[in-house]
Amino acid sequence: MQNYKNHNFQKKKYVFVKIKFFSSRDIQLTSTITVPEGMLVIGGWNQESGLLRENPNSGGFYKQVYFLSDNVWSLVGNLNEPVSDATVIRVGEWIVTVAGDSANNNVERFKWNGREIENVETISKHENTILRPIAFESYKNFCTFQN
């Protein structure tokens, strides 16, 4: 084991900046992915949104995509269907969302142009609720699914 007493470590001072939330609602179970310009926050769920529904415990799912850059939030687009507990992965020029829990459990993809999302497509659907599914890039035209 090394003796760290004699090492000269520099103390770094970190400053955390509190920023305003991206929504006036308490949206939980969102998914995030970084982009060169900042961070995207995708979908989510809110308990209060379900209080007016037949099943008040169902909550409400969201399809909005928010962008955080320079400590400022902006709405940059919508998915085709709401998602929560999703996994997000970049595959080439596409950003792919695999819904974990939602009404439709879609797999959607879109492109990020640096300002907004575009070319939103539903490419698949799964029948089960899979909270935070594992997604990875595989061989072309090859799908792995284990139930």
- pLDDT per position as a tens digit, 62-91: 889 999 998 888 999 999 998 888 889 888
Output the six-digit token pair for 11.
């103390």
Q: What are the CA-CA distances from residue 136 to residues 52, 87, 126 (Å)?
A: 37, 10, 16
**CA–CA distances in Å: residue 74 to residues 21, 103, 115, 145:** 10, 25, 10, 35
Determine if the pTM surpasses 0.95.
no
Q: How many Å from the N-terminal Cα to the C-terminal Cα in the chain?
A: 46
Split at pLDDT 50, 70, 90, the class of 56 is very low
For residue 112, the model assigns a pLDDT of 95
The share of the chain scoring above pLDDT 90, in percent, equals 27
User: Which pLDDT belongs to residue 24?
Assistant: 58
What amino acid occupies position 66? Y
